[in-house]
Amino acid sequence: MSVRSWWLMISVGLGIMLNPLNSSMISVAIPQLQNSFQLDFTAVSWIIFSFYIASAVAQPVMGRMSDLFGRRNLFLAGLLVSLIVSLGAPLSLSFGWLIVFRIVQSIGTSMMVAVGMAIVRIHVTEKQAAALSVLSIFLSGAAAVGPFIGGLLMYWWDWQAIFLVNIPVVLVSLLLAWRTIPVDESSTSAVSNNVSGQWIRRMDPVGIFLFTVGLIALLLGLLSAKSSGSFWGSPIWMSMAGIVLLAIFVWHELRTASPFIPLRTFARYPAMAWVNVEFILINLIYYAVFFGMPSYLQVVHHISEINAGILMLSLGLCSLLISPWAGRWVDRSGTGPTLLTSALLMTLGSIWLAAFGLASSIISICLALAVFGVSNGLNNVGMQAALFQSSPRDMIGVASGLFSTSRYLGTILSSLLISMVTGSQLTFAGFRILGGMLTVMALLLVYMNWQRWQAGQQQYNETDQTS
């Protein structure tokens, strides 16, 4: 690859890594945010909810907006938004304002994630597979080291540092992106062709509104019921309103010509639908550990922020290290054995968490996290391969978008699960209950992947007999 291509990949990589970095760093800061704003765990969990709900909505929307405004312009705008948030969020005087900044930060970083891969695919014409793998390292590496960086920042400074640390990364990416990302040739014509406002209908604003408001209302209702100890009154009405809005959203998406989330695709391709259902469940389990473990280590085991971050490295690094080997295993043996092994490891890790005691050693905690890390590395490769196998060739783009939405839904549900189990404070007993619930879900994954493997073996035998 040329030197210019490398600089282009670095500029894009620094930009797109801001989304996973900021979503993962916050996991270590939750106890300190509770103390700073005098909130219980349920309330402070909105720092996670808000980011992922905004990302789930913003990334597909920004992908469509790039057709109108151009990929380069959208990427640079995302960097400017991220810079403004990094400067403004540390000045937040209330938790409400901090949530607003987190939402804007999610939208800004989603601008770059939505178009970053496309920029490299279009402008790096040689060795594209290698180029895209470099960007994947930026994404997965940022998520892996996020808790460690967050732990360092919490140890030496305060929660404000989690925003301030973005500033040098944004400035370097902004300078490089301005110099290396070519201007979109079609951006001017795209604007002129969409002056009539047809592009607004293509964005499906009604679907976006119904999905966002319905999801938030449902989450508020469930969390209010947990906080008040009763499901009657406003919690049940809010939850019902959320369910009704989401039901209307489904009805609207099935009827509209340009849906925000193309649900009709699931009806036509049930195998792809099951892959996304499984991916939601996988991310629910993984992120329940990812967000729950740092608070558990700090609150229950009284481990410092920096040491909690170091322990969380075993989760991310094992995931990174196993991914290349997982790719070769999938190529050689298919997705069945890989995903079944991953589900068994998730079950083992969940049982391990449920069996944790107050006297559990640091080594035991580190090994449990490593088990989840290996499982996540296998899932990252195996589920992507399963998606491609179950999706028609001409719908890979749509399938990838739905796959990302499934990831965010699983993450949102993981935060909801933690909040409902732990309540105001993460306790030893609450964490054991969480481990038991994750064990049941992991066993469901074992069953689903056993069925997939059996189906694959049967299909292979039928093909072998025919030939």
Cα angle: 431, vertex 436, 441; to 5 degrees: 120
271 and 216 within one domain = no
373 and 277 within one domain = yes
DSSP state at residue 159? T
User: Is 465 domain-assigned?
Assistant: no
Number of compact structural domains in the chain: 3
Q: What is the pLDDT of residues 113-151, one digit of tens each?
A: 877 777 877 777 666 556 666 776 787 778 778 888 888
393 and 286 within one domain = yes
Q: Could you tell me the mean pLDDT of each successive run of 10 residues in the chain, 467 residues long?
A: 79 87 84 84 81 82 73 89 93 90 91 78 67 71 82 85 92 90 63 54 81 84 65 76 91 84 79 88 91 82 81 83 80 84 93 80 86 88 80 66 79 82 71 89 92 70 55
CATH number of the domain where residue 135 is located: 1.20.1250.20
User: Is 320 domain-assigned?
Assistant: yes
User: Is 187 domain-assigned?
Assistant: no
404 and 348 within one domain = yes
Q: What is the pLDDT of residue 302?
A: 83
Signed CA dihedral, 388, 391, 397, 401: sign only: negative
Q: What is the pLDDT of residue 100?
A: 92
Question: What b/e string do you get for 324-351 counting C-beta neighbours within 10 Å, with b at 16 or more?
Answer: eebbebbeeebbbbbbbbbbbbbbbbbb
172 and 235 within one domain = no
4 and 118 within one domain = yes
226 and 99 within one domain = no
Q: What is the pLDDT of residue 101?
A: 94
Q: What is the pLDDT of residue 444?
A: 94
158 and 106 within one domain = yes
User: Which residue, 241, 259, 277, sits at the end of a domain?
Assistant: 259
Q: What is the pLDDT of residue 189?
A: 45
171 and 213 within one domain = no
User: Which residue, 116, 151, 182, sits at the end of a domain?
Assistant: 182
Q: What is the pLDDT of residues 216-271, one digit of tens each?
A: 888 778 777 665 555 566 778 888 998 999 899 989 988 888 787 777 877 788 88
303 and 208 within one domain = no
Q: What are phi and psi of 158, to 5 degrees?
A: -135, -175
Q: What is the pTM of this model?
A: 0.77
User: Which residue, 182, 212, 238, sits at the end of a domain?
Assistant: 182
142 and 54 within one domain = yes
133 and 32 within one domain = yes
- Expressed as residue numbers, the domain containing 74 is 1-182
